[in-house]
Amino acid sequence: MYSPPIFAIIFLMSKCILFIDGENLFHKVEEILKEEGIDKAAVDLASLDLNKLFREALKGFIISRKIFYAARLHFQIPIYSQP
């Protein structure tokens, strides 16, 4: 089994870019609030401290850049009828 040199691991960990899918993140937060019995209307989701959340969840990683995106894709597949 191949094991990369330790300096390669440190180098890669220091160049981590975090992509945050806002749509999925907020759905997960809402799910957790529901499980905990907390009314989501009582919590301002826009005021979440994302830096603290990720700092705790990603201990040991040095995040060099955070990219937050939110998109909901909608598309329709055209239905063609044959004459």
The Cα 81–Cα 38 span in angstroms is: 49
pLDDT for position 15: 73
Ranges of each domain in the chain: 20-69
Q: Token pair of 30, please? A: 């809402």
pLDDT digits (tens, 9 = 90+) for 13-26: 567 888 888 888 88
Q: What is the mean pLDDT of residues 49-73?
A: 82
Percent over 70 (pLDDT), the chain: 73
**What is the average pLDDT score of the chain?**
77
The Cα 28–Cα 33 span in angstroms is: 9
Supply the pTM of this predicted model: 0.57
Closest CA to 64 of 33, 1, 19: 19
Q: Are 69 and 21 in contact (CB under 8 A)?
A: yes
